[in-house]
Amino acid sequence: MRTRTLKRLGAETVALTVATVVFLIPFAFILLNAVKNEKEATDLGFGWPTEWRIVQNLTEVVQARDYVLLRAYVNSTILTVASVTLIVLFAAMAAFVLQRRQDRMSSAASFLVLTGLIIPPAVVPTIWLLQELGLFKTLPGLTLVEVAYGLPYAVLLFRAFIAAIPREFDEAAMIDGCGGVRLFFQVIFPLLRPVTITVILTSSVAVFNDFVNPLYFLPGDDNATVQVTLYNFQSQYSTQWNLLFMDIVLITIPPLLMFVFFNNKIVNGMTDKALTG
Amino acid sequence: MTRRVAGRAVDKHVTDEEAAGRRSRAAGRRSRAAGPDRRRRPGRAAAPGRGGPSPLSHRRTRSRGGRRHGSYPYALYAPAATVYLVIFLVPTVMAFYFSLTRWTLFDSTFVGLENFRDFLSEQNLRVGFQNTIVYAVVTSGLKVVLGMALGVLLTSSLRSRGFLRSVVFFPVLVSTVAVGITFSMLLKPDTGLVDRALGLVGVDGRDWLGDATTALLSVALVDVWKGVGLATVIYIAGIVSIPGSYYEAVMVDGGTAWHGFRHVTLPLSWPATYSVIVLSFIGGLRTFDLIWTMTRGGPGFTSDTISSIIYKQYQAGFYGLSTAGNVLLFLVVTALVVPLTYVLGKRQVAS
């Protein structure tokens, strides 16, 4: 019995050590270097900082290049809020009809949803199209792109959830004379709260962290998003690693907050749906 | 993460349809039955002489059917369909045409298959194919193995498993650019933390990202580091849903923990394996962010993937060539993922 306990303790220690080294050291490395002075950070070491320049580095990063980081933060926030709102609304509406109707249109829609999940988007033709529409290099244009690419997964999540809502709800509402669009918004949509939260969380992490689409569809400094700004800082601060890492810290705060408050929701949302539908 | 997360759901088409079927069957109303139901109705109407339903009841059925349809109006499709068709589908279809042209965004000259020929004949471009496939295979393979191992470990009786789950999952939520930049610092030759740690145990480090033989694999390993958390939580969910009595049965028969893993966990976590493979394979084939932030396809072109070549050609102004790369990427993804889901899905049904 005692050897078993010892063995278990040993296994636990090994697991903890390995996980800490592999998964936490990179984050500790980011934090330590974000508060060092320029000279120490150049060393890229894991040593303790001799002076803690938290506030100075923070203000320097924020003020850099005429407050580009603040503008990027504003842009990213607008982009995320707008895209996620539209994804939730559009996907829930489409998923409702998709799940309730069983006709050719619905099979076509299901096929398109799967296509959207598998097929990589055609970048340059999209740029061409946005240019024709006058939306290239604009925030609304990028928002539409994020919505289009985010819809298929959200539709799947919503459809799986709606499948569990009995049709008796619909019928009761219909008898009360409430059908169509009103049925959806007044009866069904409020019932979708749990899955709506999951969709909000997963898509906002995805949109906020997106790098490729802003890179293609929203080039230029004026309306850069945080990820693109971080990427540009990399070449710009090739001597000031401390500021680069401070930037990483600032950009990691939103997902970190989400993680702290909604960890279980995110994990459950992702895995439940992935496995059981 | 969009793409990866999005990709993850591919298999769910089958599973949630199934689940929906199961659920509504239990409720005595099969959702699938709605189709045949409607088809039967005109047949009934066509045979009124057989003492079938009276005209009155017939009308009632019809009106109910009509009302039911009216309650699920196509109008609810409209916003999603518009955005999806205009922003995703139209460019995808146009890509097939533009890939056959020399294109400046303003006008295009038809050149036939020239772009594809260039793509496949130039060594620098061809290496992208090989790299894309190597990358997808390595990352999805490692995510399956490590994800399963971590899944088993973190469903065991470890006291710190809650903490460990969080630690393993957190990188999934961190931006890929941030991860890429951080690891390119950690992997710097000599001064990087990885080389220093290796130096402590007497191993000579190297320039991981600057060396053609290790660049692609180093990026792939960082991808695994970032993505294994998702694989792990998928496995945890799969393993938790296995009834404990199965393991008890193994114990009663005198089996060891290994037998439990080999004959219970491994086969019954197949749906999780399926999800992880499909997701990470799709994600791997499309990979761009990490390659671009860590190596930019370098040194030379040795770690280029199809996506990074698409971007490079776009930057260089070869829009037709870039689009041809995009079409090739569709073809590669479709040619590999569709059979893969088919084969894996079949096995899922079998087990």
Residue-wise pLDDT tens digits, B285-328: 998 999 999 998 878 888 899 999 999 989 888 888 899 999 99
Query: Mutate which of B8, B16, B322 to disrupt the A interface (most A C-beta within 10 Å)?
Result: B16
- Which comes out higher in pLDDT, residue B280 or B15? B280
- Report the largest interatomic distance among the alpha carbons of chain A, rounded to a whole angstrom: 74
Interchain CB distance below 8 Å, A144 and B87: yes
Which 41-100 residues of chain A touch chain B by CB within 8 A?
43-46, 86, 89-91, 93-94, 96-100
What total of structural domains would you count in chain A?
A: 1
Q: What is the pLDDT of residue B3?
A: 39
Nearest chain B CA: its distance from A53 CA (Å): 20
Query: Looking at beta carbons, which residues of chain A come within 8 Å of B80?
Result: 90-91, 93-94, 151, 155
Residue A39 lies in a domain: no
Do the beta carbons of residue B200 and residue A45 sit within 8 Å? no
pLDDT tens-digit readout, A220-243: 777 789 999 888 888 777 778 888
User: Which residue matches tokens 């950070």?
Assistant: A41
| A4 found inside a domain | no
- Is the pLDDT assigned to residue B90 strictly greater than 90? yes
> What pLDDT does B69 receive?
57
Find all residues with CB under 8 Å of A67, minimum gap 6, and list them: none
- Taking the CA of residue B79 and the nearest CA in chain A, the distance in Å comes to 6
What's CA B220's distance to the chain center, in Å? 16
- Interface contact flag, A125 B98, Cβ < 8 Å: yes
> Which residues of A are less than 8 Å from B275 in CB distance?
274-275
What's the pLDDT tens digit per position in A120-178? 999 999 999 999 899 998 999 999 999 999 999 999 889 988 998 898 888 888 888 88
Inspect the interface and report whether the beta carbons of A86 and B330 lie closer than 8 Å. no
Q: What does the alpha-carbon distance between residue B209 and residue B184 come to, in Å, rounded to a whole number?
A: 7
pLDDT in tens, B22-36: 444 444 433 433 434
Phi then psi for residue B94, to 5 deg, are -60, -30
Contacts of residue B95 in chain A, CB cutoff 8 Å?
122, 124-125
Distance from CA of A260 to the nearest CA of B (A): 9
With an 8 Å Cβ cutoff, is A186 touching chain B? Answer: no
pLDDT, average across residues B127-144? 93
- Chains A, B: CB contacts within 8 A come to 341
8 Å CB contact between B234 and A274: yes
Nearest beta carbon to residue A179 from set B71, B77, B272:
B71
The whole-angstrom distance between B191's CA and the closest CA on chain A is 7
Min Cα distance B181 → chain A (Å) is 7
Q: Which of A19, A183, A234 sits opposite B168 (nearest CB)?
A: A19
**B54 Cα to chain A: minimum distance (Å):** 23
Residues in B touching A83 (Cβ below 8 Å): none
The predicted-structure confidence for B65-76, as pLDDT tens digits, reads as follows 444 556 788 888
pLDDT digits (tens, 9 = 90+) for B33-45: 343 444 333 433 3
Check B173 against A266: CB less than 8 A apart: yes
Check whether B139 has a pLDDT greater than 80: yes
Residues in A touching B15 (Cβ below 8 Å):
275-277
User: Which residues of B fall within a CB distance of 8 Å from A206?
Assistant: 1-2, 5-6
Judge: B69–A131 Cβ closer than 8 Å, yes or no: no
Domain that holds residue A266: 66-225+257-271
Q: Please give the share of chain B, as a percent, with pLDDT higher than 90.
A: 27
Contact A200, A84 (CB under 8 A): yes
**Amino acid code (one letter) for A273:** K
Cβ contact (<8 Å) for A275 and B271? yes
> Is residue B162 over pLDDT 70?
yes
Residue A58 lies in a domain: no
B chain contacts of residue A173, beta-carbon cutoff 8 Å: 71
Calculate mean pLDDT across residues B255-281: 89
Tell whether A196 is covered by a domain. Answer: yes
Q: Which of A22-36, A74-88, B122-136, B195-209 bottoms out in mean pLDDT, i.e. has the lowest?
A: B195-209
pLDDT at B167 > cutoff 50:
yes
Query: Which residues touch B313 (CB under 8 Å, ≥6 apart)?
Result: B319, B321, B322, B325
Q: Which long-range contacts (CB under 8 A, 24 or more apart) does B303-307 make?
A: B303/B131, B303/B212, B303/B215, B303/B216, B303/B219, B304/B124, B304/B127, B304/B128, B304/B131, B305/B128, B305/B131, B305/B132, B305/B135, B306/B128, B306/B129, B306/B132, B306/B332, B307/A120, B307/B132
Note the pLDDT of residue A187.
87
* pLDDT bucket at B219, cuts 50 / 70 / 90: very high
A134 touches chain B (CB under 8 A): no
Which residues, at least 6 apart from A179, have a Cβ–Cβ distance to it below 8 Å? A173, B67, B70, B71
Residues A153, B2: C-beta atoms closer than 8 Å:
yes
Q: Which residues in chain A land under pLDDT 50?
A: 275-277
State the best of B68, B83, B163 to mutate against chain A, taking most chain A CBs within 10 Å. Answer: B83
- Answer yes or no: is A60 within a domain: no
pLDDT for B284 equals 93
Q: Which residues in chain A have their CB less than 8 angstroms from residue B225's CB?
A: 22-23
Reported ipTM: 0.88
Question: CATH number, domain at A132?
Answer: 1.10.3720.10
CB neighbours of A33 closer than 8 A, spacing ≥ 6? Answer: A41, A44, A241, A242, A245
Which pLDDT score, from 0 to 100, does residue B119 have? 80
Determine the Cα–Cα distance for residues A246 and A59; give it in Å rounded to an integer.
10
pLDDT attached to residue A210: 93
Read off the DSSP letter of residue B73: -
Question: What pLDDT shows up at residue B88?
Answer: 93
Q: Which of B72, B90, B235 to mutate to test the interface with A (most CBs of A within 10 A)?
A: B72
d(CA B218, CA B211): 10
DSSP states of B245-260 as a string? HHHHHHHHTT--HHHH
Tell me if residue B339 falls in helix, strand or coil: helix
Would A246 be classed as within a structural domain? no
Do B72 and A144 lie within an 8 Å CB cutoff? Answer: no
Residue A11 falls inside a structural domain: no
Q: Classify B211 in phi/psi space as left (phi over 0), alpha (psi -120 to 50) or beta.
A: beta
Query: Is A102 an 8 Å CB contact of chain B?
Result: yes
B241/B150 Cα distance (integer angstroms): 16
pLDDT for the residue numbered A171? 87
Q: Spell out which residues of chain A touch residue B196, defining contact as CB-CB under 8 Å.
A: 45
